[in-house]
Structure 1
């Protein structure tokens, strides 16, 4: 059974205890496993089977350990989730310093966020449950705030801008992945349904009751590839976040 009390499930994650205190070496034989190895196994499980599949029992089985022994490395599943999020946050290829072109740097940062979230489909949903920022997440945050420094926003506004940008990327990736899953589940018939939806919208727009929709549909279609859509929306997002400065 998981430990209860201040370290138990639902009690929250103490950031000082998690990030400021190194793993304590245990007396006797060297530990058979490490927190990093456990985190890596949990990430691999989440990548292939989804976050719901990440249980202490399943992770223990992956590394060949007893379930109870995992609690001496990672006291709660909440803690494990924090470790997972921070480890994948370290996949950002952060330059030593911003280039000075803040818009290009911010776009590149958001593109990397999208790549990481698509590589780890569980991440967008997990971010909403994150309780603390580990060293990798802090490094990414510090870089993004440095990128935004020339914009002219006050420091708290830069922090809010970063939060909004990350929220946009997470939300958009969640939508992308959901659409892809729906297409995969629908098989060949899904393409026919998309065509039917397009015909339906154009038919109702032609009736005259939805003039704004008709106007939008009359414009030649833009590139609908996921990457192109993301880039268009990202540019609009950045324009809106930095408007008036």
Structure 2
């Protein structure tokens, strides 16, 4: 049965002599390494215990459930993200967004755990606080409610953008085709479909639009979003 006290507030059990000393930090590091190598589906208390040469029951002295372990793993990744930095609020928000993207590309499973309820780990909260502070400092942001709406909208963009990029990387590994190779393989069918005349705007996009890589797409979308925020704020 899980404890009613959040893992963040529970002290670790006292150390005891054992062939493989344990701590929450070691458990989380092993779980992160396992998820990086084999995906989130490979993470279980049993498998993490095996990586640490320990019995599963020993791990339950440190974490009550797999869900707690996932929370700790997410917080460990947030701890890797640099604090938002920049001379202006836009630069600070952009640096925070780039940090999230880089974290998700380094730990693809992290993208699967974005969204949902807010994360309450200390690193997660510190990241959220710093990002919200950067937005709150923007000229024209009149109150914390407006800052929250901006932060929520930014979060929706980041979650969707990094999940899409991670999904493309996974598809490339699964099929052995990168985007260009997939486009070349799909080209004859797509040309036949577009030749029917039923998809005029899509045909224009395929044939005439500039196709950006993942990094350019991310930066362009983020710039549009920041421009929109700025345009809808009262004058400083």
TM-score under structure 2 normalisation? 0.83
Inter-CA distance 124–241: structure 2 relative to 1 (3 Å threshold)? farther
Q: Is 2:125 the counterpart of 1:138?
A: yes
Measured in 1, the distance between the counterparts of 2:227 and 2:31 equals: 38
Q: What is the aligned partner in structure 1 of residue 94 from structure 2?
A: 107
Measured in 1, the distance between the counterparts of 2:58 and 2:83 equals: 35
Write the mapping of 1:157-196 to structure 2, written as runs, cut at 5 A. 157-187=146-176, 191-196=180-185
- On the 8 A contact 2:63/2:69 being kept in 1, the answer is yes
Q: What is the aligned partner in structure 1 of residue 220 from structure 2?
A: 232
Aligned length: 230
- On the 8 A contact 1:89/1:140 being kept in 2, the answer is yes
Stretches of structure 2 that go unaligned for 5 or more consecutive residues are none
Measured in 1, the distance between the counterparts of 2:112 and 2:128 equals: 19
Stretches of structure 1 that go unaligned for 5 or more consecutive residues are 8-13
- On the 8 A contact 1:45/1:59 being kept in 2, the answer is yes
1:232 Cα deviation from its structure 2 partner:
1.0
Q: What is the aligned partner in structure 2 of residue 51 from structure 1?
A: 40
SS at structure 1 position matched to 2:96: helix
**CA RMSD between the two structures:** 2.8
- On the 8 A contact 2:150/2:229 being kept in 1, the answer is yes
Q: What is the aligned partner in structure 2 of residue 35 from structure 1?
A: 24
SS at structure 2 position matched to 1:127: coil
Measured in 2, the distance between the counterparts of 1:198 and 1:136 equals: 46
Q: What is the aligned partner in structure 1 of residue 64 from structure 2?
A: 75
TM-score under structure 1 normalisation? 0.81
